Structure 1
Amino acid sequence: MVDRRYRSRREELAAFRAECLSQGAGIRHLAMAIGARFKVNSRIAYRYAHGLTQQQVADRWNELWPVADGKAPVTHKNISYWEAWPTASGRRPSLETLNRLARIYRCAASDLVDGEDHTERQSTPSSTPRDLAVDSNPAPGVQAEPSDVVTRVDSLIAASGATLLGQEVNYERLVQSLIEWAYRMKRRDILQWLSWAAASAATAPVLDSLDPSEQERTLGAFANPSRVDATVIDHIDGVLWRCMRQDDLLGPQAALDTVLAQRRLVHSLLDSVPDPLRPRLLSLYANLSRFAGWLAFDLNNHASATEYYETARAAAHEAQDTELGAFVLCNMSHLATWKGQPRIGIDHAIAAIGWANQTGDNSLKAYSYDVAARAYAMDKQESAARNTIDNARNALDIVAPESATHTYFYGPGLLASTESSCLLHLGRAEEAARLGEVALAEIDDAFVRNLAMTSLGVGICHLRSAKPDVARGVAVIGEAARLSAHHRSARFHQRLNRAWDTLGQWHDLPEVRALEEQMRAYGVLANS
């Protein structure tokens, strides 16, 4: 029955939610209170707690997990069916469905299933930084319980949320230590969990890292876009930068939620921002769209990547941001070449080179030549590939130290990796292997994906040589597999599986069998 003070159940719910939030209620407690008061199941209660409609949940689902070509997206009807279960009109949600809903609602999947609770209530001592320390030299014979490992990371995330973004290297070291422990203990379940724990660190609220005056200023801009100023834009741009570094270290899932949220926020501000600031905010929207495209690409969602890139290119050109426009075209070229469309990759690369050469950014110029070389090599245009590699090297030689650029990740190591890849495409595997080994020594360890991709490429080069060096090939592919546990890139995992297929004729060798065990432990290969 609706409280007589309210005209509708919806109005009563909104008032109750606002009152609870004003009193500091967290989402879990709010959902429990809503469920008890309004007699709804936990899936509905959590949606109500977030103030979402069924369609908004469906939209969020499709944004996080875009459908493959030919498949239907999730609609409000799907949400309704899952919420109605276990009644006759409902449909049982799968475990995957519950996991995804839990991610949207920021809760545990078990929170979304109503049932009896027979667990004993016990108090949990508060964690301190000392409690969370990882002992790199445990006492002989003593092994940490998996639940303790999970608690450590979970507590760190809960206690340090926003701080983690500012201390991402320390956090990455913690995750790395735990991943290595899980591998030694052969705990595949913990390895998978840690990859998602790493992702959780990147979803800290934007405002938590600001002091009270900055929070008020930024909140005021969100409520009234006419109050957007350069400082507010700096804050949002700073979040994007930290997300890019999270992706470098941990993979696309570590940054996806935050980037999509920031992109929606900036888009909502565009129409009302003061004219002098519009080009800069538009550039920020373009870069957020570009990075969303990159993350989609790394998750093997090429359709979404293309859509985000097109939006980014249009916005960058509208803002007359020549550097960003060129960088977006580089990304588009990379995507096309990766998809096996090198001539389209060449089209985008030539356009990128044209725009980059109108700027003073020599790193960007080098990178635009780099992506062109990849496309030319895949198209078997050896002379053009070599010329563009030379142009990239010449541009890199005159890059000023510490110069600001979109291509902060690019340097001699990545150029050597590209040249190695080009040589492999052109049938020069031995030469490619030698150059790839040089690249491995020069790539910064902070760029885990680049190091992993290069390791994998070097392994393939050794295996495809006229006299295959299986031992070295297996060793560097094994290193790539180890890095895959730190950086959960679907694109990279796909390539690792292809590399395993390349090893087919050597599956009986001891080192290859050991590699198989390693790849299964890291979740690269499915358990047989």
Structure 2
Amino acid sequence: MTRKPRSLKQIQAQLADQLRATDHSWAEIGREFQRRFHVNARVALRQARGWTQPEAAERWNRRWPEDPKTFKNFSYWEAWPSATGYAPSLEVLDRMAQLYECSVADLLSDLHDYGAKRRPALSQVREPVPGGGPIVPPPRPTPQPYALTAAAPPGPATLGGYPGGHPGAGHPSMGHLDLGRLDPGKPGLGHPGPGHRAAGDDADELLRATMSSVSSVPEITSLIGLPDGGNSLSRRSALLNLSSLFAVAAAAPLAADKAVPSPAGRVDEAMVANTGLIVGGLRQQNAALGPSATVQTGLAMRSMLESVVKDAPAQLTGRAWVVYGDLAHLLGWMMFNMGQDELAYFYYEDARRAAYQADDYELAANILAAQAHLSMTAGDHQSAIDHAQAAEEAARRGTSRHARAYTADMTARVYASAGQGSRSLAALERERKQMQRIDWSEPAAERWGFYGPAFYWARESECHLL
């Protein structure tokens, strides 16, 4: 006899087991959880697996240790689009879909569809078969190899009457469309056949005509042809891609006149410089709004910078590594302020490796000082002293007087925290001498914007009190 469940989690586990036993997919189980427990799609798919938010974060970190997350990240993503949540990026949605074994569309199924005709929410619509036969449920879709896919409704709304929506169907973007098959006189985009006119034919004619007219532009045809694989293309996805095509079409005449023969996506000096300015803006945003409002943007920026560093030419690789290191250091500081010491250590180490790749002792000194501060707050005084001494040594090898003064300041602080008063005062004296050599009228590097003469007097008072 089956034991009656005593908690909501037991009820959900029992329901998931029953549905899996009847060959339902995780996406279908998630939709049932949405309907029955009144939760959004992202919560439903996690609960269908029987995971708590910390357990989901743990599985994420096992699969992608280079991009660790905490339960707070999952909490923000699941709360979105409410005011307390943060929108997950496409990369995050793709990885969540891999964790939950569903498509990205399944993770967003609780959001409104502003283009399609409304149907009952979470319903399985059954259509009568030709000839008045019995009503049968629609076939279940075949599992696809990609998680980042867009769902396409079955039936005559598929493109061109082809299985999967169009010839060579199977990519979440526009896919490969055979423009020769979009003849208005033939069954094609939204046309089941002669003599039949659906409610959306005007939109279909516009899409077909536009595709035909813009296909001659090289910049646009490069967006149309994509590799096979994935799910079919819905009308909603087609219109989204069409909006991108209009933007390219508008810029195509200018691009033809002003195009530079260099390859697309090339990393040049201006790109590296602008990226550094963006990192500086993130630092200011963190100071003004705090880490909760900044960390997601910083994580996305870090993923982009990995490609910049990889693709940068030899003469710009060092500068690209410096920008990457500054951002990783900022991420570590934000994680520390959010109480995530392990993640702070991870990003500080990532930043220190970048500093050594760039052979930038100033950046390395700043990061080592941050690691000394992290160890000091954790109560590991010996590690804090080791990092502070290494920071001073790195600063001495560089040319920045700000770095030399600040690392002496951090050394004074960790010695005072460890109860070594004489060494703390000696480090304060080194800081005072270095500060006298700094011309405060000249602008310093952006990373030293927090440091000034008042910093020394505040630190001296603090060290005497410790």
With structure 1 as the length reference, what TM-score do the two structures score? 0.42
**Looking at both structures, which has the greater relative contact order when contacts are Cα pairs under 8 Å and sequence separation is at least 6?**
1
More helix by share: 1
**Radius of gyration: which is bigger?**
2
- What TM-score results when the alignment is normalised by the length of structure 2? 0.47
